[in-house]
Amino acid sequence: MSASSHPGPLPDLRFHCSDTPLEQCFDWAVSQSLSRVRSDDPGAIPSYWAGLTDRPMFYSRDVSHQALGAHLLGLDRENHSMLRHFAASATAARAYYPLWAFTFDGAPAAIDYVDDTRFVRETPAAFEIAEKSIEQYLWTGDDRYLTDPVFLDYYRNLVREFVPRHDILGTGVAGERDTRDIFAGSPTYNEASDAAGMQVAGDGIASQWAAMTAIAAVVPDPALAEEARESADRLRAHFADGWWDEAHGRYLTGVSADRAYTEFAFEPSWFPAVKGLLPRGERAEAHLAFLDASLERRPPVNIEAFTYLPEAFLAYDHDTTAVRWIRHLIDSRSDYPEVPFTVVSHLCTGLTGVRPRPDGALETRSHLADGQVEVTGLPYRSARISVRHDGRESTTLTVESGTEPLRWVAHVGGRTVSRLVEPGRSTTVGA
């Protein structure tokens, strides 16, 4: 299969927006994303390109971030295949870290793997594989993410083996010795040298909390779920109480045995917002203002880093800032696969605030103050739905196809309204 082709028909997903530049980029993002599917290549496992375009591989960090866009485009087989590969690679000999990258035939990528004691490993990835696998369950209803022993063992080992082994400071937060050698293990996704001594990083604690929250919500092992819930509660309290820097008016970037890091450090600075770990209120607002000012002074040098920024600001309803970063990604027209995959998800689920909940309901929230945004053909479990927001004045949800009624929680204006929407029917909620 050539790099410019894609498997089968285009997905049913469609995006419409009164903001013409946002609407016009959708077809580009879909086409670019589907061009990266490798499932029909000779010898390939179900997979898509997730990494630098000169490396024919898929990386744990990239797959974790591309998986939602891939689901929206009908690539559930590929998501399951790749996430399972990472989960299966987290052995005791590797200190329960998943491998960093695979080639499309499912072999460890030699550029990132020497042997079981020396391979690239970054702490947040171990947690994101769990969080994003469970997120795929919530979107697809695919029980294999909860019942397959490979996934169940991964979740159990993450809670009971990985965290204790990597609790370098004795605080219950996983980390590593420092950031200087990613083949020996780094606590952060930030591979720059400006955080060389950091041992526990903001993106690490945020990803750990998100994974524990996800495991607690749905994993069908009551004892494990309770352990994860207690861990998530402790992490949230530890971050809220111990990571606020009163002198600088923002949350810490990271910590080591002998210092706290307050400087802007890219992923460690924005991941607590991406994951929703910042407690809402004045401190969150101060930290987001710090992010905004820091990004203005010192923007990332790699386009991959920008792909997280819309999520960080959408999570706290800083919608204008989030849209500015979506436009930045669109304007880049970057061929780095993470850009088009995440543009699909930023547009279709980010701007519309569509989110599946562990209790089976689907939430929506408009992140465009004015104008109209609509996504149709959105795949949710066995159904296809459409969501239309008219500014923040009204929202309409349609169950286009499916056999079961859908529980819908609509956030419209200042209201939160719950509705049951039957297959083939539309319901509108006003502010």
CATH no. for residue 357? 2.60.420.10
pLDDT of residue 8: 42
pLDDT in tens, 37-93: 999 999 999 999 999 999 999 999 999 999 999 999 999 999 999 999 999 999 999
Same domain, 171 and 212: yes
Same domain, 224 and 124: yes
Q: How far apart are CA 97 and CA 7, in angstroms?
A: 32
> How much is the pTM?
0.96
Residue position matching structure tokens 């400006």: 194
Boundary of a domain, candidates 346, 381, 411: 346
CATH number for the domain spanning 84: value is: 1.50.10.10
Same domain, 159 and 280: yes
**Domain assignment present for 172:** yes
Boundary of a domain, candidates 328, 346, 364: 346
Same domain, 163 and 295: yes
Q: How far apart are CA 195 and CA 261, in angstroms?
A: 8
With 80 as the cut, is the pLDDT of residue 2 above it?
no
Compute CA distances 358 → 69, 99, 106, 234, 295, whole Å.
19, 28, 31, 21, 34
Q: Which residues contact 316 (CB under 8 A, 6 or more apart)?
A: 273, 278, 280, 284, 285, 288
Give the phi and the psi of residue 351 in degrees, each rounded to 5: -65, -30
pLDDT of residue 80: 98
Same domain, 149 and 274: yes
Q: What percent of the chain has pLDDT over 70?
A: 97
Helices first, then strands: H and E counts in the chain: 16, 18
**Domain assignment present for 125:** yes
**Number of separate domains in the chain:** 2
The whole-number average pLDDT for the span 184-207 is 92
pLDDT in tens, 361-415: 999 999 998 899 999 999 999 999 999 999 999 999 999 999 999 999 999 998 9
Same domain, 341 and 367: no
Contacts 24+ apart (CB under 8 A), 383-391: 383/423, 384/12, 387/352, 387/354, 389/352, 389/364, 391/366
Domain that holds residue 334: 20-346
Same domain, 270 and 128: yes
Beta bridge partners, 389, equal 373, 395
pLDDT in tens, 263-298: 999 999 999 999 999 999 999 999 999 999 999 999
